[in-house]
């Protein structure tokens, strides 16, 4: 795979071209459209039908791992096909990985070097030390779960974290960050400690401490509009991968105003079922093309009202 590819450069060029849709590629053998017998055929037709509007493609690796070694072969073939036909469009692996640092090197070799992805989703729970092998890959996108789109996301992600004055100072003034007024992101300011929801702590950690290579992004779900908008306020410069539009209930007219950054871009708006399942008949590729066209046109009209 091409080691000269840089995720941030690729995604910025797609934004500049007016593309903000991240097309999910999560096929299931038992749910393929009528007349389609292989996931390779399905994936390739969806890629061809939507590439014009895609800022990225995003397979969830679980759908391929479920098929065993043949599924991973299909995933590698998919990335190679799209790289050959549409080299300007990056591929994001939705894998939500992070383990101890040695295990992470195995994930990195598999996902970046063998499968050929340009970016990966990771979870922050084990901290910067564990994520270091990912973060040091400056050419790749490291997209950190911050506030996800699933209904139970608030159970942990909105828990309030108590910070001492020293901890707040350290969070505010990391080597990769800026010194804005962090107090506006507190939920409470008590006499000897400060309170902030966990997802905001994660966003500030990424912005101020983890983004040393300018290769980080954040996952911010479309189904939590207020939290999404707060993440954008914290991290104006970082890409936001935004799942949850369409089938999960996220409303694009509410998403874009809170998610767009000060330059008018920064959004990787993920849509899977609304595009790839737009039809279950033989016209599925044409239906996917039309769904992607309509969604991207709607996004552009909201970006430039």
The residues carrying an active-site annotation are 96
Q: How far apart are CA 142 and CA 139, in angstroms?
A: 10
Q: Quick one: tokens of 240?
A: 């936001």
Q: Quick one: tokens of 185?
A: 């992101």
State the greatest distance between any 2 C-alpha atoms of the chain, in Å, as a whole number: 67
Residue whose structure tokens are 């598999």: 110
Contact by Cβ (8 Å): 280, 305: no
Q: Quick one: tokens of 101?
A: 């640092």
Q: How far apart are CA 232 and CA 167, in angstroms?
A: 22
Question: Among positive and negative, which fits the CA dihedral 35, 40, 44, 47?
Answer: positive
Nearest to 220 by CA among 171, 166, 256: 256
Question: Among positive and negative, which fits the CA dihedral 114, 116, 117, 118?
Answer: positive
């Amino acid at each position: 795979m091409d080691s000269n590819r840089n995720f941030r450069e690729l995604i910025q060029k797609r934004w500049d071209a007016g593309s903000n849709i991240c097309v999910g590629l999560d096929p299931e053998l038992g749910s393929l459209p009528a007349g389609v017998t292989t996931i390779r055929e399905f994936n390739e037709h969806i890629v061809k039908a939507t590439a014009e509007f895609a800022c990225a493609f995003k397979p969830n690796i679980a759908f391929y791992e479920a098929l065993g070694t043949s599924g991973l072969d299909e995933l590698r073939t998919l990335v190679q096909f799209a790289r050959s036909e549409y080299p300007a469009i990056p591929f994001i692996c939705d894998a939500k990985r992070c383990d101890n640092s040695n295990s992470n090197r195995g994930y990195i070799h598999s996902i970046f070097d063998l499968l050929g992805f340009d970016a990966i989703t990771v979870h922050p729970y084990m901290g910067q030390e564990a994520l270091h092998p990912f973060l040091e890959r400056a050419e790749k996108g490291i997209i950190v779960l911050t506030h996800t789109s699933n209904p139970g996301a608030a159970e942990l992600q909105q828990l309030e974290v108590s910070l001492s004055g020293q901890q707040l100072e350290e969070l505010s003034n990391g080597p990769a960050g800026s010194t804005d007024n962090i107090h506006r992101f507190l939920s409470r300011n008590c006499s000897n400690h400060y309170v902030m929801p966990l997802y905001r702590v994660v966003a500030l950690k990424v912005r101020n401490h983890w983004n040393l290579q300018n290769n980080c992004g954040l996952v911010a779900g479309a189904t939590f509009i207020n939290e999404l908008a707060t993440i954008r306020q914290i991290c104006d410069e970082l890409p936001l991968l935004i799942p949850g539009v369409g089938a999960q209930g996220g409303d694009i007219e509410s998403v874009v105003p809170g998610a767009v950054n000060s330059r008018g871009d920064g959004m990787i708006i993920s849509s899977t079922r609304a595009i790839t399942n737009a039809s279950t008949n033989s016209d599925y590729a044409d239906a996917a093309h039309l769904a992607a066209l309509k969604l991207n046109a709607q996004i552009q009209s909201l970006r430039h009202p």
